[in-house]
């Protein structure tokens, strides 16, 4: 039995926003397997409780129901997490939403909501957790998107928020150095339907063409991102900060002629 299981406060933990489903859930599972206690922060109470129950067999995990775009909720998340564990060593800013709409019909409230969740929330979490992260010589890992580098039509809010998150990454890396390393992962097409909560889970419908358009020969899996996340928060990545890693099976490097 791990020492953290005997004494819940003996080990600093990782907070993963949007950790109840998809990429966030895969990162939580991988961290727990590596012996890192996890706090899942999520707006979806059903998914959060379900995932926390499922993952408790792997290690110490807590769920905090909150909206990380609200500063009071972030303050409560920090207080609750620091009461449960000896400190917070890792922050993974993964929570995100999208609002696709033609630009001339994109409502300002929808634009603001996307930026609040995808960009303001990572800032708020970094702001309020920075003392604990500095004390632990910790790590911030932001989950952006290849939409920060390339676009489809009608993705202005999402693309802008993810581009801002890549920039926020190197800004925080400068401001929190040398105590806290800050890096970013920009996933491409990651199939997450199979890792949603049970009431919303669907069998993914992926064609051979979907897989073949990637140089890697397949669509990505949440575990592809979790594997890199585990490395970037580990001591083995101690000389890496301010970086953005594109994980997309080669998609953004393809030259396409019609």
120-124, 172-176, 192-196, 215-219: the lowest-pLDDT one: 192-196
Q: Number of folded domains in the chain?
A: 1
CB crowding 128-161: b at 16 or more within 10 Å, else e: bbbebbeebebbbbbbbbbbbbeeeeebbbbbbb
The closest of 180, 223, 29, 224 to 90, measured between CA atoms, is 180
Asked if residue 38 lies in contact with residue 208, where contact means CB atoms within 8 angstroms, the answer is: no
Within-domain flag for 254: no
Catalytic residues: 158
Asked if residue 36 lies in contact with residue 14, where contact means CB atoms within 8 angstroms, the answer is: yes
The Cα–Cα gap between 175 and 202 comes to: 42
Residue 89: give the domain boundaries: 3-247
Within-domain flag for 55: yes
The closest of 64, 178, 185, 84 to 125, measured between CA atoms, is 64
Within-domain flag for 257: no
Within-domain flag for 73: yes
The closest of 245, 218, 216 to 233, measured between CA atoms, is 245
Q: The tokens of 144 are what?
A: 């952006």
> pLDDT for 60-84, tens place per residue?
999 999 999 999 999 999 999 999 9
State the Cα torsion 130-89-81-11 to the nearest 10°.
-150
> pLDDT for 26-43, tens place per residue?
999 999 999 999 999 999
Within-domain flag for 44: yes
Identify the bridge partners of residue 181 per DSSP, sorted by sequence position. 139
Grade residue 1 by pLDDT with cuts at 50, 70 and 90. very low
State CA 172 to chain mean position distance: 16
Within-domain flag for 255: no
Within-domain flag for 217: yes
The Cα–Cα gap between 17 and 75 comes to: 14
Within-domain flag for 252: no
CATH number of the structural domain spanning residue 236: 3.40.50.720
Grade residue 99 by pLDDT with cuts at 50, 70 and 90. confident
């Amino acid at each position: 039995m791990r020492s953290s299981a005997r004494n819940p406060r003996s080990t600093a933990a990782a907070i993963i926003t949007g950790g109840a489903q998809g990429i966030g859930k895969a990162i939580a599972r991988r961290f727990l397997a590596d012996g890192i206690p996890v706090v899942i922060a999520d707006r979806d109470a059903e998914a959060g409780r379900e995932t926390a129950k499922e993952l408790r067999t792997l290690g110490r995990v807590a769920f905090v129901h909150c909206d990380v775009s609200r500063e009071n909720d972030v303050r409560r998340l920090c207080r609750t997490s620091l009461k449960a564990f000896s400190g917070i060593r890792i922050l993974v800013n993964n929570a995100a939403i999208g609002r696709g709409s033609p630009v001339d019909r994109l409502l300002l409230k929808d634009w603001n909501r996307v930026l609040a969740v995808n960009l303001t929330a990572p800032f708020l979490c970094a702001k309020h957790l920075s003392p604990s992260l500095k004390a632990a010589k910790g790590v911030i890992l932001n989950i952006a998107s290849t939409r920060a580098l390339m676009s489809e039509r009608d993705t202005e809010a999402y693309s802008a928020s993810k581009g801002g998150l890549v920039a926020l990454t190197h800004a925080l890396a400068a401001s929190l150095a040398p105590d806290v390393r800050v890096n970013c992962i920009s996933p491409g097409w990651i199939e997450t339907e199979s890792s949603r909560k049970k009431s919303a889970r669907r069998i993914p419908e992926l064609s051979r063409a979907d897989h073949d358009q990637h140089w890697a020969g397949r669509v990505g899996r949440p575990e592809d991102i979790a594997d890199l996340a585990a490395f970037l928060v580990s001591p083995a990545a101690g000389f890496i900060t301010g970086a953005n890693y594109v994980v997309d099976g080669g998609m953004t490097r393809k030259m396409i002629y019609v």
